[in-house]
Amino acid sequence: MNMLNETAVEKVLERKMSNAALKMSGKDVCVFYGDKQALHNVNLDVRENTVTALIGPSGCGKSTFLRTLNRMNDTIDNCRVTGKILLDEDDIYDPSIDVVELRARVGMVFQKPNPFPKSIYENVSYGPRIHGLARTRAEFDEIVESSLQRAGLWNEVKDRLQEPGTGLSGGQQQRLCIARAVAVSPEVILMDEPCSALDPIATARVEELIHELRTNFTIVIVTHSMQQAARVSQRTAMFHMGILVEENDTDKMFTNPDDQRTQDYIMGRFG
């Protein structure tokens, strides 16, 4: 893509973002681990085709909030969530919600790349198979190729699709996990510090990818890196001690934040 086109696409995306529809919305979300309250009445909107970064010092509740968005907290025994999380119009904690289907709509990429101990092909085709998204070999081939293309990995692996996913480099494994998430056509992709186990070159590649993916997906990313939040996101939410202290446009957040705690955090005064 030439520079002019790139700028034009950027402009369209920026416009799209400022008018972007709400995709997910947390309303008065509280999370408890046993008796300990980890999140206090969080109200946070996630807009469509936007990258929202969750930042804040260690233990402030970023990952806890991220996990409420696709009910990953359900897997933690003593964890209790109150309030509402809406995905479009649906309350995802409603008893009628099928959690497997929810996690296909709201996928997740973890801190440490975690490919299945299977071939590259099977890593990507597994989700579409269990969700019945393809039937014939040709349909699976197409999903595998387009997902790997979207994850920017196709050219590196197209001649070794039957080799184990675990044999790839760390950065390639993380892009394989992104391809796996993308393969079931989710609406939202959650990323929990997706670059923390990667070297700077692999990190740059994944950041570039996040930038490209937001054309088609809504992304929420937890990051410890302020530079990363500034580079990849358009909206940023700052947590401190289980409280959402500020949610703002990323540019504003990093130049002229409204809350003193945000200012202190981005200046490296705590955390």
Give the residues lining the site for ligand ATP (CB under 6 A).
33, 38, 56, 58-64, 76, 224
| Residue closer to ligand ATP, measured from CB, 59 or 164 | 59
| Residue closer to ligand ATP, measured from CB, 62 or 103 | 62
| Residue closer to ligand ATP, measured from CB, 55 or 188 | 55
CB of residue 256 vs ligand ATP: minimum separation in angstroms?
Answer: 24
| Residue closer to ligand ATP, measured from CB, 61 or 115 | 61
CB of residue 196 vs ligand ATP: minimum separation in angstroms?
Answer: 9
Main-chain phi, psi angles of 69, to 5 degrees: -75, -20
| Residue closer to ligand ATP, measured from CB, 150 or 240 | 240
Cα distances from 73 to residues 76, 79, 120, 222, 238, in angstroms, run: 5, 6, 28, 16, 20
CB of residue 61 vs ligand ATP: minimum separation in angstroms?
Answer: 4
CB of residue 29 vs ligand ATP: minimum separation in angstroms?
Answer: 12
| Residue closer to ligand ATP, measured from CB, 22 or 30 | 30
| Residue closer to ligand ATP, measured from CB, 42 or 124 | 42
CB of residue 180 vs ligand ATP: minimum separation in angstroms?
Answer: 23
- Counting other chains too, the contacts that 75-82 makes at CB distance below 8 Å and 24 or more residues apart are 76/33, 78/33, 78/34, 79/31, 79/32, 79/33, 80/31, 80/32, 81/29, 81/30, 81/31, 81/32, 82/28, 82/29, 82/30, 82/31, 82/32
CB of residue 34 vs ligand ATP: minimum separation in angstroms?
Answer: 7
CB of residue 140 vs ligand ATP: minimum separation in angstroms?
Answer: 36
